[in-house]
Each structure stands twice: as structure tokens, then as C-alpha cells.
């Protein structure tokens, strides 16, 4: 079982940037599909971005439409860490951000029910 811990959230103004990190443990990090989701007190957990598992360590990347061109998902297999670079932040990006993992590939990378492993979240607040 993999354990996930998010960090890097904060309180910033619109247009600012943040980089979120998700540190994994237990090893074999490269064998998992990885994703970021976000959730507010009034919304269900929403897909943000994902990196699909690939045997050649070059899996397909998926983004929710509202973050395309602003957010970049990446990972460092050697350090067993997933990243989300968040640029041009908007108030509507305010949420608690969670990382998630599933061993190998998934049929639907946007469905939180497909991910059995979750971190505890890091809060992002974008407000002027």
C-alpha cells in the first residue's frame, strides 16, 4: 500500500502561483497512475489532473478544462513525488487539493472512485 502526503498550499492573490507536492512512500511509485482532485465544503471531489501509468514511464496526461494552460502536472519517480504547478490562480481555484493513486492503468482517470489511495489534502485559497 502506498501512503501519500500533500504539501504546498497557501493563501494567495489572483494571478499568483503555487506548487503542490505529493510525497509517496512504500516504493514502486512509477507503477501507479497518479492524480490531483479538489474539493470545497459545498462541492464533491472534482478532477483536476492525472498522469496515467505507463510501462515506459511516459504516461498520458489529462487535465480538467478550466486548468488547461495554467496548471502542469508532473512527477519525479526517483523521489517518489507528484507535483502540481498552479499558475494564474483564480478565486474559483480555491479548494482543498488531494493527491490520489491507483496501481497501474485506469479506465477513467477523472473518477475519484477509481483511486483507492489518497492523501489528507492541502488547502489553497485564492482571494484579493
User: What letter does residue 7 receive in the DSSP assignment?
Assistant: E
**% of the chain surpassing 70 pLDDT:** 98
- What digits encode the pLDDT tens for the residues 12-23? 999 999 999 999
Q: Which residue has the cell 504516461?
A: 59
Grid cell 494567495 is found at 12
18-47: average pLDDT: 92
pLDDT in tens, 51-90: 998 876 678 999 999 999 999 999 998 899 999 999 999 9
| Whole-number pLDDT of residue 6 | 97
- Grid cell listed for 62: 489529462
Q: What is the pLDDT of residues 81-116, one digit of tens each?
A: 999 999 999 999 999 999 999 988 888 999 999 999
In this predicted structure, what is the pLDDT of residue 30?
81
Read off the C-alpha cell for 22.
505529493
Report the alpha-carbon distance of residue 93 to residue 91 in Å, rounded. 5
Amino acid at each position: 500500500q502506498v501512503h501519500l502526503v500533500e504539501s504546498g498550499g497557501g493563501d494567495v492573490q489572483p494571478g499568483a502561483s503555487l506548487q503542490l507536492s505529493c510525497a509517496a512512500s512504500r516504493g514502486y511509485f512509477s507503477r501507479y497512475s497518479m492524480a490531483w482532485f479538489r474539493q470545497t465544503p459545498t462541492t464533491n471531489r472534482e478532477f483536476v489532473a492525472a498522469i496515467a501509468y505507463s510501462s515506459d514511464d511516459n504516461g498520458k496526461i489529462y487535465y480538467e478544462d478550466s486548468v488547461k494552460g495554467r496548471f502542469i502536472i508532473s512527477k519525479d519517480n526517483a523521489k517518489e513525488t507528484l507535483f502540481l504547478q498552479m499558475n494564474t490562480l483564480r478565486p474559483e481555484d480555491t479548494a482543498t487539493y488531494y493527491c490520489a493513486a491507483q496501481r497501474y492503468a485506469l479506465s477513467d482517470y477523472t473518477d475519484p472512485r477509481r483511486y483507492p489511495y489518497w492523501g489528507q489534502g492541502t488547502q489553497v485559497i485564492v482571494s484579493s
